[in-house]
Amino acid sequence: MEVPEYTISDLETLFDQGQWTSVSLCEAFLKRISEIDTAGPTLRSVIEVNPDALAIAKALDRERDQSGPRGPLHGVPILIKDSIDTADKMQTTAGSLALEGNIAPQDALLVEKLRDAGAVLLGKTNMSEWGYMRSTRGCSGWSSRGGQVRNPYVLDRSPLGSSSGSAVAVAANLCIAAIGAEVDGSIVRPSSTNNIVGLKPTVGLVSRSGVIGVSSPQDTAGPMARCVADVATVLTALTGVDPRDPATQSSVDQSEQDYCQFLDTTMIKGARLGVARECFGDHEGTDAIIENAIRQLEELGAVIVDPVQASTLPMFGELELELFLYEFKASVNRYLAEHPGAKVKNLAELIQFNRAHAEQVMPFFQQELLEIAQAKGDLNDAAYLDAKAECYRLSRTDGIDKALKEHRLDAIIAPTEGTPAFVIDPVVGDNILKLGGSSGCSTPPALAGYPHITVPAGYVHGLPIGLSFFAGAYQEGKLISYAYAFEQATQVRRPPGFVESVSV
């Protein structure tokens, strides 16, 4: 049976009416993964399916019949990024052959929360290996374990971002929603490029325990779905304080019991939205789409403040990369120390494994970022502390906080990604680091640790373009309401066509 692009709200009704069960829905998605992801267009977005998914779905169907649903996610199939621990038969590898066979000793807290909400973990999604922190010539969506993820809108175009598999799986209707993880752009950039809604929460709103990260001041996991309402529903299930992640303590009295309360199209009336003009100018097609979106926001009642400046920091610029290299070493060593079943025990052993298996692991690009990180000191080094302080100053004090205060803004808007998706090139790579930064607006809210949502805004030659909203800490509710109002008024999103290439 074909699976329409259902929302979570649709499924609540269909489950109640008996038109679908969790088992029949999971079976349909598993069949679709086999036909479209593994074969057919060969998207390679799903790195592994859960062998227990149908048994879990069966138990949840029985529970629904006996005592009713736990909530809106009861029986809903969700995919999880391969950097997030699941204490089951699935591996957690960050896309790396060096971690093949790694079975987590316990669930990440966010996974535990999804299970408690009744979600079915259908499988794990492919990703940019080690969160794109292996090489200066990395290729978005490529991993030595999972191969190259492909963009379902135009198959030879990049899926972008570390959470590429999660975005593509949602866009191609291989699940209802997915969980991604971001350090800078890894949720919002692939969401934009694959025409879905992605929300990077405030650092501390969602626990990172059991998540292979890159840089603790910025790391967070978040929901990815085809509509704002589903993102709000999944976010509600993910939040909470975790003793294993001290950053979550800051969310006490800051998180909301239900983010669906912000699905209100009237909240945008009178909202002051600042236009971050430094994020424009990289492609006339993208700029035209976002200029049109700004006019639509004005028609919805928003007050547009143009221009404002959110930050001068480029993506993966020297300052941010310096922070990442120190943090990545600490993060990988900490994760591996907590996972005694892994084949490698620390970053040094990971580097050696890759050298020993270079033909499989490094056929296109090397591991110079791993090697530079290994040569760094610890998190007490003055160079690290200076970089961290400067990143906070430029992204918060002299960046987003300043813009919000000076212009009395509710949020800042910009193109999520400055250009349409570029062509996949494993030989040359994405060239993000070589260019000294990348277009788009992911870096200021990422470095600040602030929330950021992207929503479909239009197309350039069939390639999706996303509109971003970001603001200060714990302003997820406002951002959801603005994105929802725009989404409901414009109805931009359409399913992918699996086109081989842009016609020339």
3-state secondary structure 458-492: EEECCEEEEEEEECCCCCHHHHHHHHHHHHHHHCC
**What tens digit of pLDDT does each residue of 487-497 get?**
999 999 999 99
Residues 6+ apart with CB under 8 A from 383: 322, 326, 377
Q: Is residue 497 part of a domain?
A: no
Q: Is residue 503 part of a domain?
A: no
Q: Give the C-alpha separation, 496 to 2, whole Å.
A: 15
Structure tokens at 158: 């990049």
Query: What phi and psi values does residue 125 have, to the nearest 5 degrees?
Result: -105, 150
Q: Give the C-alpha separation, 54 to 24, whole Å.
A: 9
Domain of residue 98 covers 8-490
**What tens digit of pLDDT does each residue of 371-411 get?**
999 999 999 999 999 999 999 999 999 999 999 999 999 99
Band of residue 433 on the pLDDT scale cut at 50, 70, 90: low
For 287-314, give one letter per residue: b (16+ CB within 10 A) or e.
bebbeebbebbeebebbebeebbbbebb
Q: Give the C-alpha separation, 303 to 297, whole Å.
A: 8
Average of pLDDT values for 317-325?
Answer: 93
33 CA to centre of own chain:
20
Structure tokens at 19: 């038109």
| Nearest CA-CA partner of 412 in 330, 290, 317 | 290
Q: Residue 185, by phi and psi: left (phi above 0), alpha (psi -120 to 50) or beta?
A: left
* Radius of gyration, CA atoms only, the chain: 21
Band of residue 316 on the pLDDT scale cut at 50, 70, 90: confident
**What tens digit of pLDDT does each residue of 250-306 get?**
999 999 999 999 999 999 999 999 999 999 999 999 999 999 999 999 999 999 999
Band of residue 435 on the pLDDT scale cut at 50, 70, 90: very low
Counting Cα atoms < 13 Å in the Cβ hemisphere of 210 gives: 23
Structure tokens at 140: 């978005």
* Beta bridge partners of residue 77, listed in sequence order: 120
Question: What is the bridge-based pairing of β-strands 142-143 and 147-148?
Answer: antiparallel
In this prediction, residue 437 carries a pLDDT of 43
Band of residue 1 on the pLDDT scale cut at 50, 70, 90: low
SS3 state of residue 8: helix
Q: Is residue 393 part of a domain?
A: yes
Query: What phi and psi values does residue 325 have, to the nearest 5 degrees?
Result: -65, -45
- The region of weakest confidence among 242-256, 359-373, 426-440 is 426-440
User: CATH number of the domain that 436 lies in?
Assistant: 3.90.1300.10
In this prediction, residue 314 carries a pLDDT of 79
End-to-end CA distance of the chain: 36
Q: Give the C-alpha separation, 466 to 226, whole Å.
A: 13
Percent of the chain with pLDDT over 70: 98
Residues 6+ apart with CB under 8 A from 411: 271, 273, 274, 469, 470, 471, 475, 478, 479, 482
Q: Give the C-alpha separation, 306 to 291, whole Å.
A: 11
Residues 6+ apart with CB under 8 A from 65: none
Cis bond before residue 72 (omega within 30° of 0): no
Global pTM value: 0.98
- The region of weakest confidence among 200-204, 244-248, 431-435, 464-468 is 431-435
| Nearest CA-CA partner of 274 in 397, 467, 411, 394 | 411
Question: What is the bridge-based pairing of β-strands 272-276 and 463-470?
Answer: unpaired
391 CA to centre of own chain:
21
| Nearest CA-CA partner of 197 in 151, 235, 238, 162 | 235
Angle at 136 between CA 133 and CA 142, to 5 degrees: 60
400 close to 391: Cβ distance less than 8 angstroms? no
Band of residue 432 on the pLDDT scale cut at 50, 70, 90: low
**What tens digit of pLDDT does each residue of 20-34 get?**
999 999 999 999 999
66 close to 184: Cβ distance less than 8 angstroms? no
Residue type at position 14: L
Counting Cα atoms < 13 Å in the Cβ hemisphere of 148 gives: 19
Query: What phi and psi values does residue 446 have, to the nearest 5 degrees?
Result: -65, -50
Q: Is residue 502 part of a domain?
A: no
360 close to 97: Cβ distance less than 8 angstroms? yes
The total domain count for the chain is 1
118 close to 142: Cβ distance less than 8 angstroms? no
Average of pLDDT values for 326-338?
Answer: 98
pLDDT of 311 > 90? The answer is no
**Catalytic (active-site) positions:** 81, 162, 186
Listing DSSP states for 310-343 in one string gives: ---PPTT-HHHHHHHHHHHHHHHHHHHHT-TTSS
307 close to 407: Cβ distance less than 8 angstroms? no
Counting Cα atoms < 13 Å in the Cβ hemisphere of 38 gives: 10
Q: Is residue 500 part of a domain?
A: no
Q: Is residue 2 part of a domain?
A: no
**What tens digit of pLDDT does each residue of 73-128 get?**
999 999 999 999 999 999 999 999 999 999 999 999 999 999 999 999 999 999 99
Q: Give the C-alpha separation, 452 to 455, whole Å.
A: 10
Q: Is residue 177 part of a domain?
A: yes
Mean confidence (pLDDT) of the chain:
96
Band of residue 436 on the pLDDT scale cut at 50, 70, 90: very low
Q: Is residue 498 part of a domain?
A: no
In this prediction, residue 85 carries a pLDDT of 98
Q: Residue 264, by phi and psi: left (phi above 0), alpha (psi -120 to 50) or beta?
A: beta
SS3 state of residue 285: helix
**What tens digit of pLDDT does each residue of 442-453 get?**
999 999 999 999
